[in-house]
Amino acid sequence: MEFPESDLMQTLPKQFFAALVAKVNKKIAEGYDVINLGQGNPDQPTFDYIIEGLKEAAERPVNNKYSQFRGQPTFKKACAAFYQEKYGVELDSEKEICVLGGSKIGLVELPWALMNPGDTIILPDPGYPDYLSGVALGQVKLETVPLKAENDFLPDYDDIPEDVAKKAKFIYLNYPNNPTGAVATREFWEKTVAFAKKYNVGVVSDFAYGALGFDGYKNPSFLETPGAKDVGIELYTFSKTFNMAGWRLAFAAGNQEMIEALNLIQDHLFVSVYPAVQDAGIVALESSERDPEIVKLVALYQSRRDAFVNAAEKIGWHAFKSGGTFYAWMPVPKGYTSEQFADVLLNEAHVAVAPGKGFGEAGDGYVRIGLLVSPERLVEAVERIDKLNLFERK
């Protein structure tokens, strides 16, 4: 017997970075010392007090049963309290919070829950590649808005044609931004709400790197903006703020109708998240130790950014200086595509980077640097690249 995949499965985007991982692993297997700057996986351990919280929660027999379908009320109350404390946003924990097994789940399932086949969604270009999985599974039409250096990689709503804006049902935004490291301002979010209300477009703010702002910058939440809950939601993940990438814990907050739709589809797909993980999430959100640990984490990433960007500047490789996340967005030398340049760096300098094209056509003039190794290794990577004589020193 044969069991061919469904037609829908055939529409799923190829995992662009699977090929990069294979190339890197091949080089390592051949015995090369590869400095891997192509990854986006936090390299620091989960904070100790969160692990202790999980241990204690796992020992409680009640947590070995199924979770409540829409998450533990105590966890949702902690999420609402966190947003009140950090961003001054008031949320109804039962009607305006949706528990997620990682923010990717919410981002991918939203088109299923809130769009019909043939509806239009607007995505940023470049942007997080897994947004495209939701497009394929929801069978919706895709339009993109370019993120340009001259606009600090914020979308210019005047770049969206009138006919596209009128037919679009949702727009996804991600600040601090993967892959560029750009950050949003309060003024930008005000423009976003105005655009959404003018054209009746729902907003989905992917706030994955919200805690990671550099040079003292506090990233504003989309939900802080007057009228934001009328037009959209925000997704917050524990993976970056608390180094909990493997724990698969996140939540969506905001517009009640959008939250209800996400909860409903999850009623059919999941029995929420392991209760002990939710209890550990409460510890993460409420612990008095939280802020000092996060401050140290942000300082670590900023020191890595500065080490890499300053070293690159000395060899004539000029960065867009990221305002957050743990990435640097670097231009490709003339005469190369991002994939060609990445291959040269891997094969000749044994430095792995992520080609910008993997994030969209508008990203092809750049590569993404993951600031997820020590400053010494970041500087060593630049020194190796310098020996290729691809840039002109000042």
Q: Which of these three, 259, 286, 313, is where a domain ends?
A: 286
Q: Cis link prior to 226 (omega < 30° from 0)?
A: no
Q: Are residues 261 and 323 in the same domain?
A: no
CATH classification at residue 54: 3.40.640.10
d(CA 290, CA 48): 11
Q: Give the DSSP letter string of 134-196.
A: HHHHHT-EEEEEE--GGGTT---GGGS-HHHHHHEEEEEE-SSPTTT-----HHHHHHHHHHH
pLDDT number for residue 389: 93
Q: Are residues 217 and 241 in the same domain?
A: yes
Show the domain range for 249: 48-286
Q: Are residues 140 and 12 in the same domain?
A: no
- Domains: count for the chain: 2
pLDDT number for residue 312: 97
Q: Containing H/E element for 320?
A: none
pLDDT number for residue 111: 97
Strand partners, 354: 368
For 265, counting Cβ atoms within 10 Å of its Cβ (0-12 exposed, 13-18 middle, 19+ buried), the class is: middle
pLDDT number for residue 290: 65
Nearest Cα residue to 109 out of 247, 270, 254, 241: 270
Q: Are residues 247 and 373 in the same domain?
A: no
Percent composition of the chain: helix, strand, coil (DSSP 3-state, to 5): 50, 15, 35
Strand partners, 178: none
CA atoms within 13 A on the CB side of 8: 10
Q: Are residues 154 and 275 in the same domain?
A: yes
pLDDT in tens, the chain (394 residues): 999 999 999 999 887 778 888 999 999 999 999 999 998 899 999 999 999 999 999 999 999 999 999 999 999 999 999 999 999 999 999 999 999 999 999 999 999 999 999 999 999 999 999 999 999 999 999 999 999 999 999 999 999 999 999 999 999 999 999 999 999 999 999 999 999 999 999 999 999 999 999 999 999 999 999 999 999 999 999 999 999 999 999 999 999 999 999 999 999 999 999 999 999 999 999 985 568 899 999 999 999 999 999 999 999 999 998 999 999 999 999 999 999 999 999 999 999 999 999 999 999 999 999 999 999 999 999 999 999 999 887 6
CB 38 within 8 A of CB 381: no
Q: Are residues 134 and 177 in the same domain?
A: yes
Query: Would you state the structure tokens that stand for residue 173, as one six-digit string?
Result: 């935004």
Secondary structure class of 172 (helix, strand, coil):
strand
CATH classification at residue 306: 3.90.1150.10
Q: Are residues 279 and 298 in the same domain?
A: no
Does the pTM surpass 0.85? The reply is yes
